[in-house]
Structure 1
Amino acid sequence: MIVVTTPTGQIGSQVLGTLLESGEPVRVIARDPARLPDHVRERVEVVKGSHSDPDVVDEAFMNADAVFWLVAADPRAESLEAAFVDFTRPACDAFKKQGVARVVGVSALGRGVAKNAGHVSASLAMDDLIAGSGVNYRALTMPTFMDNLLWQAHSIANDGVFFAPISGDRKAPLCATRDIAAAAAGLLRDPSWHGVADVPVLGPEDLSQNDLAEIMSEVLGRPVRYQRVSLDAVRAAQLERGWSEAMAQGMADMMAAKEAGLDNVEPRTPEATTPTTFRQWCEEVLKPSREW
């Protein structure tokens, strides 16, 4: 039995789909099971609730061989520790209590170099907590997701511009969530690995924001430009959306760390290089997402 958290989320839904295609028995934890498509809901066991709830994870992890763990951090959390580490504590207790063999988690690049890196530092602290539970653990460590640009699809479509607080010519890796999900599903189905390790997912190439603008322009058939914004503007935008002070500052601190080269410290290896190119992602995900 494999347990999937965030089964309706961007990554979790793709992990779930891959596991079901392979015929694996799956149990999901869902706050709102009605959000699961009918054809999915009829093929999985469903435990209703939050995976921060001790009773929920105790029930969900019973007789489970492996767990896909993802924290969709509450933007209103009072602190980064509360959003990532405290959220995960009940699960770590349940891993031990229920004898879960393997956990695959979604985290971030930066181990050994992330200093005051906001959400990244909190993700790494979460990894340490899980590893300390004694469970066999693989942390998928990623740079920025290509799919995050979907949040700016309206601006790209209407104004031909997208924004970030990163130098336009800074090249860095970025990856597609489909490749993260594929890596996670492969590990969840493989009972042969043991111990604790990071698994980088770096995409196929390093690109700058200006490179992204050029590729989007070519694929969408319309001019798209990149505009850099300040870290203060990033923080203010999150506060306007209702984020807490701590979570908004954590986002700004993470972006500052990325500007300083956080995502460039992991050596690119064949194992860490995943297949989906940014051009392919634009053609298959961004372009079909709306009328351009």
Structure 2
Amino acid sequence: MSTTGTNAGTSTGTGTTLVIGATGVTGSRTVARLVAGRHRVKAASRRATPVPGAEPVRFDWYDPATHATALDGADRVYLIPPIGDADPLATMRPFLGEARAHGVRRAVLLSSSAIPEGGPAVGKVHEALPGFFEHWAVLRPSWFMQNFTGAHAHALSIREEGAVWTATGSGRIGFVDADDIAEVAVRALTDERAPDTDLVLTGPEVLGYDDIAEIVSDVTGRPVEHRRLSYEQLRDRLAALIPVEFAAMLAEMDRAIAGGAEDRTTDTVRRVTGRPPRSFRAFMASAESEKTGA
């Protein structure tokens, strides 16, 4: 895979890409870019939701009867692990073997900057992936900027309470735009050479949640504050909404951020796409403009 941006537009051009989670945050953006690049796409979701330019197919990680039809004709796949599954490898392993048997030769897995190869949950899938496919990539993005818009948890608490609740303390994060993630995903799926490695994706700067609250307040004109919780307080708050094991894992990620685990930026987006990643302020200004119709 090109790491300089000079290979932009190069693709294998002959395959069909199965995009799992095609209606999700990164999946929908990846489908749109593949279609725009005139690639054949099978857009997989639990309800086979129609997606312009793609073939909709039904797919459910927990319903193996949906897997063969989704895989039919595909030679590459974008993998979104089952959300909230504490042991996604156990769920995904049969499908990965089936995909290889159906002729899939390239797989791109969405993971997280917080989870290394061999780490918990999707880290185990990351570790297993090269054993299934000849060509592969693991995308490890930092926290999504989209978490502060739409129906996401931080966006809801901002609208309803004027606050963002975290256990990150003064820890900083290289927040990344899902549009930048999708552009890297398309390159990993279609460039002549696959990355065959993991790619840590961040935005251009590191920000704490105090910074985030200040930027959101400035852009929207509505006061927003960062309310700091302990690990236990955040775990219990999340456990009211999601399984306790998953809540504990997410709270532990916040605790790691407080300790500096995500205080970094990378040049991956620029190297792979040939352009810089979007800043959080630019992202919020665009989101606010779209909302107000300005």
Asked if TM exceeds 0.5, the reply is yes
Cα drift, residue 198 of structure 1: 0.6
Quickly say closer, same or farther: Cα 1:208–1:287, change in 2 above 3 A: farther
Quickly say closer, same or farther: Cα 1:46–1:268, change in 2 above 3 A: closer
1:244 is matched with 243
Quickly say closer, same or farther: Cα 1:245–1:213, change in 2 above 3 A: closer
SS at 2:271 equivalent: coil
Greater fraction of residues in helix:
1
Quickly say closer, same or farther: Cα 1:87–1:265, change in 2 above 3 A: farther
Quickly say closer, same or farther: Cα 1:123–1:113, change in 2 above 3 A: closer
Quickly say closer, same or farther: Cα 1:91–1:149, change in 2 above 3 A: same
Inter-partner Cα distance in structure 2 for 1:128 and 1:136: 14
SS at 1:108 equivalent: coil
* 2:139–2:200 Cα contact (<8 Å) kept: yes
* One-letter amino acid matched to 2:31: L
Q: Percent of pairs identical after alignment?
A: 24
Inter-partner Cα distance in structure 1 for 2:27 and 2:288: 19
1:138 is matched with 137
SS at 1:263 equivalent: coil
* One-letter amino acid matched to 2:177: A
Inter-partner Cα distance in structure 2 for 1:113 and 1:71: 15
Inter-partner Cα distance in structure 1 for 2:133 and 2:159: 48
* 2:206–2:264 Cα contact (<8 Å) kept: no
SS at 1:63 equivalent: coil
Instruction: Map 1:86-235 to 2 at 5 A.
Output: 86-110=90-114, 121-150=120-149, 151=152, 152-168=154-170, 170-193=171-194, 196-235=196-235
Cα drift, residue 71 of structure 1: 1.4
Cα drift, residue 267 of structure 1: 5.4
* 2:180–2:277 Cα contact (<8 Å) kept: yes
- Unaligned stretches of 5+ residues in structure 1: 115-119
Is structure 2 residue 293 aligned with structure 1 residue 279? no
Inter-partner Cα distance in structure 1 for 2:280 and 2:221: 15
Inter-partner Cα distance in structure 1 for 2:116 and 2:254: 17
SS at 2:262 equivalent: helix
- Unaligned stretches of 5+ residues in structure 2: 1-15
Cα drift, residue 110 of structure 1: 4.5
Cα drift, residue 133 of structure 1: 1.5
* 1:109–1:266 Cα contact (<8 Å) kept: no
Inter-partner Cα distance in structure 1 for 2:265 and 2:126: 17
Instruction: Map 1:44-123 to 2 at 5 A.
Output: 44-74=54-84, 77=85, 80-81=86-87, 84-110=88-114, 121-123=120-122
Runs of 4+ displaced beyond 3 Å: 51-55, 110-114, 264-270, 286-291
Quickly say closer, same or farther: Cα 1:17–1:148, change in 2 above 3 A: same
Quickly say closer, same or farther: Cα 1:197–1:11, change in 2 above 3 A: same
Cα drift, residue 141 of structure 1: 0.7
SS at 1:264 equivalent: coil
Cα drift, residue 289 of structure 1: 4.6
* One-letter amino acid matched to 2:169: S
**Aligned positions, number:** 272
Alpha-carbon displacement from aligned partner over 1:173-226 (angstroms, at most 9, x marks no partner)? 1101111111111221213226x3011111111112121122112211232221
* One-letter amino acid matched to 2:69: E
Quickly say closer, same or farther: Cα 1:289–1:36, change in 2 above 3 A: farther
Alpha-carbon displacement from aligned partner over 1:119-162 (angstroms, at most 9, x marks no partner)? x6212111112222143110011111111123233432344321
Cα drift, residue 230 of structure 1: 1.8
Inter-partner Cα distance in structure 1 for 2:114 and 2:172: 16
Inter-partner Cα distance in structure 2 for 1:110 and 1:238: 18
* 2:50–2:56 Cα contact (<8 Å) kept: no
SS at 2:23 equivalent: coil
Quickly say closer, same or farther: Cα 1:218–1:132, change in 2 above 3 A: same
Quickly say closer, same or farther: Cα 1:20–1:244, change in 2 above 3 A: same
1:117 is matched with none
Quickly say closer, same or farther: Cα 1:122–1:174, change in 2 above 3 A: same
Is structure 2 residue 30 aligned with structure 1 residue 26? no
Inter-partner Cα distance in structure 2 for 1:159 and 1:104: 37
* 2:117–2:126 Cα contact (<8 Å) kept: no
SS at 1:96 equivalent: helix
Alpha-carbon displacement from aligned partner over 1:251-283 (angstroms, at most 9, x marks no partner)? 222222222222236755653795111001111
Is structure 2 residue 31 aligned with structure 1 residue 16? yes
SS at 1:175 equivalent: coil
